[in-house]
């Protein structure tokens, strides 16, 4: 039974590693910045899953703590990246806003 369990854990870790590579391709190719953020988030989530699988496979409890800390760092990374996207969007909106106001003011002056 333990051989079957070890085989299943190893197979799932290998499958997740292959999926990480596929997601990495998406992160590089992704046409928009948000696609890249989501791909990086998925890579981090799968890495946490691999660490948890290794914890069970190697019977090392401390790896669960490592996975939890990595998950927290991953969450903070996504929050910071999302904040950067929002700030960039707000700045873009502010740049277009004054020109629209100037056009309206010019139209009302005529």
Domain residues of the chain, as ranges? 2-109
| Conformation bin of residue 26: beta by default, left when phi > 0, alpha when psi is -120 to 50 | alpha
Domain 2-109 maps to which CATH number in 1.10.600, 1.10.287, 1.10.10, 2.60.40? 1.10.287
Q: DSSP code of 61?
A: T
Instruction: Give Cβ neighbours of residue 55 (< 8 Å, ≥ 6 apart).
Output: 61, 63, 64, 67
Q: Can you give the pLDDT of all 110 residues of the chain as single tens digits?
A: 789 999 999 999 999 999 999 999 999 998 888 888 899 999 999 999 999 999 999 999 999 999 999 999 999 999 998 898 889 889 988 887 655 555 555 565 55
Instruction: Yes or no: say if 36 and 30 are a contact pair by the CB < 8 Å rule.
Output: yes
> Rounded to an integer, what distance in angstroms lies between the CA atom of residue 87 and that of residue 7?
47
């Amino acid at each position: 039974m333990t051989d079957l369990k070890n085989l299943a854990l190893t197979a799932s870790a290998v499958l997740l590693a292959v999926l990480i590579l596929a997601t990495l391709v998406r992160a590089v190719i992704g046409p928009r910045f948000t696609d890249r953020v989501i791909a990086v988030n998925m890579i981090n989530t799968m890495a946490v899953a691999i660490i948890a699988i290794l914890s069970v496979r190697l019977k090392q409890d401390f790896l669960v703590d490592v996975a939890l800390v990595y998950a927290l760092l991953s969450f903070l990374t996504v929050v910071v990246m999302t904040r950067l996207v929002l700030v960039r969007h707000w700045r873009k909106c502010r740049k277009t806003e004054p020109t629209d106001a100037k056009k309206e003011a010019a139209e009302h002056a005529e």
